[in-house]
Structure 1
Amino acid sequence: MEIGLILTALLSGGFIGAVLGFIGAGGAMVSVPILLYLFDFTPVAATTAALAVVFLAAVAGLGPKFKSKDVLVKEALTIWALGLLTNIGFGLIVAKIADSVILIGFSLVLLGAAYSMLKGPIKDSPEKKIPVWALVLLSLLIGSLTGLFGIGGGFLAIPVLVLFFHTPQNKAAGTSLLIIALNCLTAFLAKFSIWQEIDWGYPVLIALAAVLIARYTSRLAAKTPTVHLKRGFAFLLLGLAGFTILTQI
């Protein structure tokens, strides 16, 4: 492995871990472009390797969230279980989908995520229970995103939990990390047939750095204002989406 790429992998992992630790979402949305453009992975290999990286980082960030009781375990398990159909289904067939379709679809997801993060601060309101129909719809959509694009779906889960069900931001972020971990592990296992096609050297380094930073930043998240971080991250996603779309034109 080249020294320059080793340093790039470690810095990339640190950034991915910080995003997951502070925001509770977005790790895969930067992992996939990093593997695509900095390490020359194919789209299918990038989305598969990103699943492993983000799973490990999300698990690392979960420890402090469980200690502070900021994880809705039942809701997270329900969303994961209901989304198994689309998660595993798309995970099994994604290798047969054209790279251009995956990349354009991924770019559209980035645009949606950027929009959700650019919205103004959300005022606290009394918590509400999630109705069954909303759980089913949210779960199937998140499962689809994970199976197709290697995205854990946290960017979708957090605004839904906060905006529609008045879940406190910290608790929504913690629940999102558990959803991400479960979904990423499931989709990664569903793609076992292409594991041997991936050069795991750099993803392992990225994962190690992401795990260390995610655990540290997850402890700081409750005491750190994330408004400006989210806006900056949203603009980064807009740039990545635009660049990816231009490469496919």
Structure 2
Amino acid sequence: MSDSRANRRAVVIDDDPDVGGLLAAILGGAGFDVKVAADGPTGLHLVRDFAPEITTLDVNMPGVDGFETLRRIRLLSSTRVVIVSGRVDEIDMVLGLSAGADDYIAKPFRAREMRARIEAVLRRSAEYGPVSVAVPETGWLNAGAVRLCVAQREARLHGRLVALTRSEFELLAGLAIACGKVCSKEQLVGTLRLRGEAGSGLVTDSDRRALEVHVANLRRKLDNAGAHELIETVRGIGYRVAALVR
């Protein structure tokens, strides 16, 4: 992370003092002013009052669990949220990402990987647009019948707004820019992380699973809006916008 960004703040929400202390040390070493909460309600107050740039969140906490805490966070803050949890079943990842998490990292984790993942989430927040390629001068992209306004990060189908998370919008925009060409899972992970050239860097099984969850959620929302079968799976490779295939 660049040291040029001043007054960076982070909140750690975890009922395990050892894990909370480790996360606070990692973030503190990256230049953040860190506040730690041992439960969801206290964490919510910190997010509201401290206005953190990044928040890490455990799932298994007494009282208000991490998923409910995340839903409440999203009502009052745009802080980037990274779930850090020992629950690694796919359904838990689905719930977390669907509720608005920006990343989902399994415990136990390595300090270096944790810092790299947090850096990637924050780069995504700092950069403009989902991918490092030219966007049409109109500021709009087309994915079949779905139109994407890059400046406002809005997706519309026949003029009606389709509510997408940031990650879902970036995925659909990346696929639209590809103009019907297949985007590999590695490329799309790179799009979400903004690691530089698509596909560069280590892509883990956890990355691929998270991507698959994002794509599944995106497909469900598009289908509910009336854009059926817009995203096609190309087995063994990745995805493309079927309506743009020439």
Is the TM-score greater than 0.5?
no
Bigger share in helix: 1
TM-score, normalization by structure 1: 0.29
The structure that is strand-richer by fraction is: 2
